[in-house]
Structure 1
Amino acid sequence: MTTQTLPRPAVPWLRIAAFLAVTFAAITAAGAALWFGGGDVQGDAAAPLLMIAMYTPTLGVLVTALATGELRRPGDLLRQTGVLPSRSLPRIAGYTVIGFLLAPFLTLAALGVSSSAGHFAFHDPLPLADLASMLGPQLLIFPLGMVLTFGEEFGWSYLLPKLLPLGLWRALLTSGVIWGVFHAPFTLQGYHYPGLPGGLAVLAFTLASVLLGALLGWLRLAAGSIWPAVVAHAAANLIASALPALLGKPLDTTNAALHASLSGWPGWLVMTAAITALVVTGQFRHLYGYVDASIQHRPLSSRNETVSKSGWQA
């Protein structure tokens, strides 16, 4: 067995800055259009603008890739962003199933925590028939949900590999903070946390984004593919978000998202527990071989090669 120590790769800060500049300019423009148009971010009229806004990270990728020449090699770009698989299809399929179940399962656990703390009341008996009837239509529109969440995940799947030379955890933390702040033009207008002041809403959403982003990043890197994260994001938007209203009612309707949802403090607790469980069972440690290959832009190491991570690991 041979040991190869690779030089520490550099973080491509200029490309990251270009991507973030385009993405944040576009999402800010979308938020400004809603603000000056007098729209309600919680209303149905805002939905088309919110859907368009989900593709601002993709716009950031395309503009940056065009400016840097990455778009001249579309196959390489699609492989580095995980659109084209770098690992076996059965492995990707397994992580996709996990991604589909992840947010609904965590939401149920969060509602249990909220109920125990006296902030959420489950219906008695649970409306299992209503749950089944809800899943049918949601599954029918799930492909559309994936089309929308791909718009964001393509951008974050472009960003995350470029941050990996910082170290796995720093990269996940940084990308999670960026994901949370990315929503600020809408969060400041009452999106998701209508009962909170704007600054606290941005802080709450950013914390939720860091935690959920770590789990989506784990899916993305473990599968070597963007698709489990796309599916997990769509499941969070379409299925997990519908569970609280279906299964019970929050006792504080003004701050329901903060006290009885995956993006509130009960969700922060269960997502922290899930991340801890993955760490304890070595699931993040198993990523390092793929992470190293990803930042070096080369195929996965063979079974007979051990790559030293000491050159870049935080």
Structure 2
Amino acid sequence: MTLSTGSLPLVNRRRGLFVFLGVAYIGMWAAMSPLLASGYRRGNAREETGALEEACIAAAMLAPALAAILVVRCVERSGRVRDTLALRWTKPWGRAARACLMAFVVPAGLTTAALAIGTFAGRYPFSGVHWNGLGAWLAGAVLNMLVSLPLFFGEELGWQGYLFPRLAQDSDRRSLIRAYVVTGAAFAVWHLPTLLMGGQYPGRPWYVSVPAMLVSCTLILPVFTWLRLRSGSVIPAVIGHAFVSSASVGMVKEFADPQAALDPLHMGMAGWPGWIAAGAFVAFLTLTGRLQPSFYRARTAPHLASTRRP
């Protein structure tokens, strides 16, 4: 797998990065402006979002993809959008299926580990597994995640399709570290409007929720990048992100005491138990070299070549 974006002049690359970030951030603030103007605040983690909130969130999630497409087409002119942003299926199909399955299994495993850590620490009010309704809940969670996938393409075409490859283009150790840290930070700060409204951490002030989001995004982003690197496609990263933001949150609610208050800072992937689980997995990926594009280049190059048109 290679993250090369061609022989882009440095000035074009830098201009593209600034335009991408500007459009993505402006798009987020513009999409959230109706909620900010109305003084909306999320009161607790069990609170459901209304139609206006869902519409604003959907519009915001499309901003990074629109920014990436704009830059590729109008600023860098670096080739076809599909190829440049890795918007393709991995070949052969069996390998693509395994990559997508891994995008389900790994986030599910990390969430389970986070809930176990929170339970043993006495911070997660685990109420047991309700086997009678588990099948229906699983089916609903998967369906909800699949329905929301287009919105997560809106985010990951920007972060994994565009931003990370541009920052990691030189492929040396220093560039890769910078790419992971800067992409994670940009990903986290992009959520600032929702953090100010208590979106991810209800009831928490910004000076708690913003650092918490920085830690969460910096730790989970390498997992999404790993899914993208090992497959040569942004699609598994999209699936992984969708799981963490929907099914994983649903797992926290499903297995908790229905009468107990839920604090995302102390449970699930957004809290410190999730940081421990994700941090351990990222440490494993780092020690085994799996966060380096060169680890996958030899094994994926033939498959990627077969997907290109002559």
TM-score normalised over the length of structure 1:
0.82
Residue number among 288, 293, 297 corresponding to 2:294 in the alignment: 288
Deviations 1:240-295 (A, max 9, x none): 110111112499836x100011110010000001111222333235x325579xxx
Contact persistence 2:40–2:197 (CA under 8 A):
no
1:194 is aligned to 2:198: no
For 2:180 and 2:269, locate their aligned partners in 1 and report how far apart those are by CA, in whole Å: 19
Residue aligning to 2:238: 230
Correspondence list, 1:57-68, <5 A: 57-68=64-75
Aligned partner (choices 141, 145, 148) of residue 148 of structure 2: 145
Q: Indicate whether 1:110 and 2:119 are aligned.
A: no
Counterpart residue identity of residue 234, structure 2: I
**What is the aligned partner in structure 2 of residue 257 from structure 1?**
264
Q: CA deviation at 1:9?
A: 8.5
Q: Secondary structure of 2:125's partner?
A: strand
Q: Is residue 16–residue 76 contact of structure 2 (8 Å, CA) maintained in 1?
A: no
Cα 1:27–1:8 shift into 2, 3 Å: closer
Structure 2 residue aligned with 1:205 = 213
Q: Which has the higher strand share?
A: 1
1:237 is displaced (CA, Å) by 2.3
1:93 to 1:167, Cα distance in 2 relative to 1, 3 A: farther
Q: Structure 1 290/92 Cα, relative in aligned 2: closer, same or farther at 3 Å?
A: same
Matched, 1:20 2:24: no
AA in 2 matched with 1:66 = R
One-letter amino acid of the structure 2 residue matched with residue 180 of structure 1: A
**1:33 Cα deviation after fit:** 2.2
Q: Note if contact 1:92-1:224 (Cα within 8 Å) is conserved in structure 2.
A: no
Query: For the residues of structure 1 that align with 2:74 and 2:10, how far apart are their CA atoms?
Result: 19
Counterpart position of 2:306:
none
C-alpha distance after superposition, 1:181-212 (max 9, x if no partner): 11011111111101211122111112101111
CA contact (8 A) 1:215 1:275 kept: yes
User: Structure 1 residues 291, 193: CA separation in 2 closer, same or farther (over 3 Å shift)?
Assistant: farther
What does 1:75-114 correspond to in 2, within 5 Å? 77-85=81-89, 88-114=92-118
Look up the equivalent residue of 2:154 and give its one-letter code: G
The answer to whether the 8 Å contact 2:87/2:235 transfers is yes
Equivalent of 2:280 in 273, 282, 300: 273
CA distance in 1, matches of 2:248, 2:118: 15
Greater shift after overlay, 221-230 or 194-203? 194-203
Maintained 8 Å contact 1:250/1:260:
no
Task: Give the C-alpha shift of residue 121 in structure 1.
Answer: 2.4
Q: Structure 1: how far apart are the matches of 2:207 and 2:286?
A: 31
CA distance in 2, matches of 1:251, 1:281: 43
Aligned to 2:59: 52
Percentage of identical aligned residues: 28
Could you say if the C-alpha distance between residues 238 and 265 of structure 1 is closer, same or farther in structure 2, counting changes exceeding 3 Å? same
Q: Distance in 2 between matches of 1:252 and 1:193?
A: 16
How far 1:85 sits from its partner (Å)? Answer: 4.3
Give TM-score scaled by structure 2 length: 0.83
Q: How many residues align?
A: 286
Structure 1 residue runs of 5 or longer lacking an equivalent are 1-6, 293-298, 303-314
Structure 1 match to 2:307: none
Structure 2 unmatched ranges of 5 or more: 1-6, 304-310
